[in-house]
Amino acid sequence: MLPSLANRGTRSMPKGLIFVLVIIALIIVYAIARVISYNRLSEQQWDQVDKSKLKEWEDEDDWD
């Protein structure tokens, strides 16, 4: 008898592989969320800086 054509090429991924891919996706989403959070915190802290006390450099040269 011939193998069924309906089941041909429909292998499912192992459950362990799906679990690992989900964990990797969660880690990537978490890392992106932390970077965005730190960026917002940095911008907030920069807005609170007294910019009048920042040193101005007199020797700024154009490198062009």
Residue type, 27: I
Residue 2: predicted pLDDT: 52
DSSP string, 1-64: -PPPSTTTT-PPPPHHHHHHHHHHHHHHHHHHHHHHHHHHHHHHHHHHS-GGGSPPPS------
Does 32 map to a domain? yes
Tell me, yes or no, whether 26 lies in a domain: yes
User: Quick check: is 52 in a domain?
Assistant: no
Q: Is 36 within the bounds of a domain?
A: yes
pLDDT at 60: 65
In a domain, 3, yes or no: no
pLDDT at 62 over 80: no
Please state the pTM of the whole predicted model: 0.59
Number of domains in the chain: 1
Q: In terms of residue numbers, what domain contains 38?
A: 15-45
Query: Which pLDDT score is estimated for 4?
Result: 57
In sequence order, which residues have a C-beta less than 8 Å from that of residue 55 and are 6 or more positions away?
Answer: none
Query: Is residue 27 included in any domain, yes or no?
Result: yes
